[in-house]
């Protein structure tokens, strides 16, 4: 009896580990298969990728990002660290940009360290990471695109992890990493408040001040530096332009919570029950992760409510919510310590739930993966653009002209950011309108969505150009795999000048 009784804890512990490993293998294998098909694809998987490469190209040539808007360039309303890092890594490259994003997502998997430091069993820790990775589909496939989301989340994860440690140098590292996350995506700055407040209440004013100084002073220096080198345009693009956009608050109250819940419903139903059970057991020392994770979810919801907020802004929300599930499961395990049988079985049962949720969250790789026909169609498009005379304006596909040996285009979304009432930079749309009126581009190539009232029509495309030809491509070729579903479809040429009638 004694030998058999001693075997059960080891067997159940091993079962929990194997279930957690199985969950992680499932989600990681699915992600690896998707990434393998996407990493070196030489065109946009998501329509803003090409515009980010335009930013990298400018930095490689010593040009500024936050400059007066013109028909040649308007920057994204993002922080500069991500394109700056890509510019240090070499020529603009889809593969390099996606690899950096993936490294950021891999860094975000440090949630396993958070859970292990909280004494979570390996099975629960690994299963939690697996559930987060299974949110790839729910996040629209934005984990591995040329955007700043992955890098920002990776830096934020390690900032949160380091800031609560005991040693002063660790809190300093946490502050510096949060500053780097802010330099990648500005909303990371909001996490400084719950971190500093928890340090103040749980550790005292000295640790709180120490962290605050290491986070705030470099961030302030960074802002001043960017403001000086941009001649004052940096804060206009980073703060004032987004502030001119409307807010759709129904997204905050309905869409964002539902998107998080739908990403892992099995795990969240379980977690909500545990949260009610464990609410009165929370102590101040344990409040750090609930406070910062709740802040991350709230910030993600607010970003989703922003008029331009696509589902990519929910990635930190998915990360925080899944990590919260893992921490709740571990807290429940610890709370059941006085009931040996329940404690013994709880870890493998909880890990089994995580495995079931991971399996339910697996996605069809083919939905996100370009195929050889897409590659061939893109090569054909680049060849066509290269054969055209003069510069070609492709605002929805701004890196294609560069691939064809011409000047890259102004990214359309950057122009869209400036057309809202109250925008502090109204000269941007005016400059593009004037360029269209004087036929600055011999050829313009757009998607069919442009013909349904989007930005370019608002500023006079149809007044100055005629739509003369449609690409003869099968319906799915060159359609984006993530985000806004656009593909090159229409060729526009300047209207012939009006001729006056002869006098009678």
pLDDT of 1 > 50? The answer is: no
| String of DSSP letters for 102-122 | HHHHHHHTTHHHHHHHTT--H
Q: How far apart (Å, rounded) are the C-alpha atoms in residues 496 and 64? A: 36
CA distances from 402 to 53, 57, 72, 461 (A): 10, 10, 13, 22
Q: Give pTM, 2 decimals.
A: 0.93
Task: Provide the token pair at 373.
Answer: 């026909």
Domain ranges of the chain: 2-367, 371-494
| pLDDT tens, position by position, 232-276 | 999 999 999 999 999 999 999 999 999 999 998 888 877 776 666
Listed residue (328, 343, 226) closest to 274, CA to CA: 328
Which residues contact residue 447 at a Cβ distance below 8 angstroms, ignoring those fewer than 6 apart?
396, 486, 487, 488, 489, 490
| pLDDT tens, position by position, 169-212 | 999 999 999 999 999 999 999 999 999 999 999 999 999 999 99
Q: What is the pLDDT of residue 484?
A: 86
Residue 160: alpha-carbon gap to chain centroid: 18
Q: How far apart (Å, rounded) are the C-alpha atoms in residues 488 and 43? A: 12
Residue matched to tokens 């979570």? 120
Catalogue the long-range contacts made by 11-18 (C-beta closer than 8 Å, 24 or more residues apart): 12/344, 12/345, 12/347, 12/348, 13/121, 13/123, 13/347, 15/123, 15/348, 15/351, 16/121, 16/122, 16/123, 16/124, 16/347, 16/348, 16/350, 16/351, 17/121, 17/122, 17/123, 17/126, 18/123
Pairing of strands 443-446, 392-393: parallel
Task: Provide the token pair at 384.
Answer: 């066509």
| pLDDT tens, position by position, 404-430 | 999 999 999 999 999 888 899 999 999
Q: How far apart (Å, rounded) are the C-alpha atoms in residues 84 and 79? A: 10
- Mean pLDDT lowest among 100-109, 215-224, 259-268: 259-268
């Amino acid at each position: 009896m004694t030998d058999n009784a001693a075997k059960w804890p080891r067997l159940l512990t091993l079962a929990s580990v194997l279930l957690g490993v199985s969950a992680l293998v499932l989600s990681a294998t699915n992600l690896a298969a998707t990434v393998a098909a996407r990493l070196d694809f030489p065109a946009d998987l998501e329509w803003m990728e090409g515009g980010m490469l335009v930013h990298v190209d400018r930095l490689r040539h010593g040009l500024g990002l936050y400059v007066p808007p013109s028909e040649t360039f308007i920057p994204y309303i993002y922080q500069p660290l991500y394109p700056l890092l890509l510019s240090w890594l070499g020529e603009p490259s889809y593969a390099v940009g996606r690899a950096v994003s993936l490294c950021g997502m891999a860094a975000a998997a440090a949630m396993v360290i958070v859970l292990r430091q909280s004494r979570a069993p390996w099975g629960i820790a690994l299963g939690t990471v697996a559930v987060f990775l299974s949110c790839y589909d729910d996040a629209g496939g934005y984990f591995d695109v040329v955007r700043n989301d992955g890098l920002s989340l990776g830096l934020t994860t390690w900032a949160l992890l380091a800031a609560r440690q005991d040693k002063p140098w660790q809190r300093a590292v946490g502050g510096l990493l949060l500053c780097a996350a802010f330099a990648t995506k500005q909303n990371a700055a909001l996490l400084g408040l719950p971190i500093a407040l928890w340090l103040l209440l749980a550790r005292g004013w000295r640790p709180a001040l120490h962290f605050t100084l290491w986070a705030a002073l470099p961030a302030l220096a960074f802002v001043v530096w960017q403001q000086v080198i941009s001649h004052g345009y940096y804060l206009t693009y980073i703060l004032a332009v987004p502030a001119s956009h409307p807010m759709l608050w129904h997204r905050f109250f309905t869409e964002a919570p539902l998107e998080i819940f739908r990403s892992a419903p099995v795990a969240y139903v379980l977690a909500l029950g545990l949260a009610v059970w464990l609410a009165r057991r929370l102590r101040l020392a344990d409040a750090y992760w609930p406070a910062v994770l709740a802040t991350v979810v709230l910030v993600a919801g607010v970003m989703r409510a922003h008029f331009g907020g696509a589902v990519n802004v929910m990635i930190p929300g998915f990360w925080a919510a899944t990590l919260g599930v893992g921490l709740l499961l571990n807290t429940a395990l610890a709370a059941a310590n006085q009931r040996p049988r329940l404690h013994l079985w709880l870890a493998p049962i909880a890990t089994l739930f995580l495995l079931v949720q991971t399996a339910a969250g697996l996605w069809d790789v083919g939905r996100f993966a370009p195929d050889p026909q897409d590659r061939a169609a893109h090569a054909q498009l680049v060849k066509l653009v290269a054969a055209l005379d003069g510069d070609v304006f492709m605002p929805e596909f701004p890196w294609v002209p560069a691939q064809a040996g011409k000047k890259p285009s102004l990214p359309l979304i950057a122009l869209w950011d400036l057309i809202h009432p109250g925008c502090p930079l109204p000269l941007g749309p005016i400059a593009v309108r004037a360029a269209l009126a004087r036929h600055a581009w011999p050829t313009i190539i757009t998607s069919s969505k442009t013909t349904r009232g989007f930005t370019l029509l608002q500023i006079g495309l149809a007044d100055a150009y005629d739509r003369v030809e449609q690409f003869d491509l099968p319906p799915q070729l060159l359609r984006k795999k993530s985000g806004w579903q656009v593909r090159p479809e229409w060729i526009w040429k300047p209207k012939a000048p009006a001729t006056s009638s002869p006098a009678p």
